[in-house]
Amino acid sequence: MECRNALLEAEGDIQKAFAILRERSLLKAEKKKTRSVTQGLIEGYIHAGGRIGAMVEVNCETDFAARSDAFKELAHNLAMQVAAQEPKFISKEEIPEGVDAEPLAVCLLLQPFIKDPSKTVQDIITEAIAKVGENIKVSRFVRFELGEREDGCP
Amino acid sequence: MECRNALLEAEGDIQKAFAILRERSLLKAEKKKTRSVTQGLIEGYIHAGGRIGAMVEVNCETDFAARSDAFKELAHNLAMQVAAQEPKFISKEEIPEGVDAEPLAVCLLLQPFIKDPSKTVQDIITEAIAKVGENIKVSRFVRFELGEREDGCP
């Protein structure tokens, strides 16, 4: 029904119909972003033969969604992103006042996605929300690099 | 040579000779515990279908030792221990003053090893030092459980 309406609206242009459908699904995803999330996955990623490691907690609404391939793939991509791109915060809102940081470089959600730099990490989360049909949030992450300490000491 | 001496000392009792050798190797391991460690591995362990995750940094002296099976096994066991036993600190020395905590329950190194509770975690590290021939230290670990936050907030 939704597809037929989009096709009618696009006057039979299939590419245009796809674009309409994609936009609607992302709009629906936007609306889901206020719903509370208590389920999800902890995912880890070890890189460079054990010299770098990352762990993320990604939350969704139900355990059913957490077990879906789309959600698992997102969690894996996020752990990989943290390992590779060293974000310092999740979002711009998390940067403490007085800290002079470049949000685009330091915030996970604003970083270009390593596997497709034409999208941000927030974009791939929004796409996953559209696929899974539930709100999704990154609640925390951690990154270890060999020989570096959390406190910045050698 | 070492074996023959131990056998002579044990008056031909092979079990006793093994015990002598084992003790000597652990004594040597003790001596190595002051040597500095800059190499090692970051190892992760995801448990209970993604509901619990742990990550550890284990250090040794050379990259060669870090790639040995004995060291990899130790790193894996430590990550598993952290996931299963929820230590709060690495060692007794790390418990902040004024914190009323039971060292045996909260410190990783003092916990009984989950795969063999007759040993402590420190024991399996000392054994690995004896096997690998280098000093080994756990420098940090982190544990995530789904829905719990680092700050203790729900």
- Note whether B50 contacts A57, CB cutoff 8 Å: no
What ipTM goes with this model?
A: 0.83
The one-letter code for the residue type at A64 is: F
Does A75 or A154 have the greater pLDDT score?
Answer: A75
Listed in sequence order, the DSSP H helices in chain B are 2-9, 14-32, 63-66, 69-85, 103-106, 121-132
Task: For chain B, say whether A150 makes contact (Cβ under 8 Å).
Answer: yes
Residue pLDDT, tens place only, B115-143: 999 999 999 999 999 999 999 999 999 99
Q: How far is B41 from chain A (nearest CA, A)?
A: 5
pLDDT at A24 over 90: no
Task: For chain A, say whether B68 makes contact (Cβ under 8 Å).
Answer: no
pLDDT number for residue A153: 41
Sequence-distant (≥ 6) Cβ neighbours of residue A58 within 8 angstroms: A40, A41, A43, A71, A74, A75, A78, A136, A137, A138, A139
- Note whether A44 contacts B42, CB cutoff 8 Å: no
Task: For chain A, say whether B142 makes contact (Cβ under 8 Å).
Answer: yes
User: Angle at CA A78, nearest 5°, toward A73 and A82?
Assistant: 150
DSSP state of B89: B
pLDDT at A152 over 60: no
B146 → closest Cβ in A42, A50, A149: A42
Report how far apart, in Å, the C-alpha atoms of B133 and of each of A74, A101, B24, B47, B136 are: 41, 44, 13, 31, 9
Task: For chain A, say whether B40 makes contact (Cβ under 8 Å).
Answer: yes
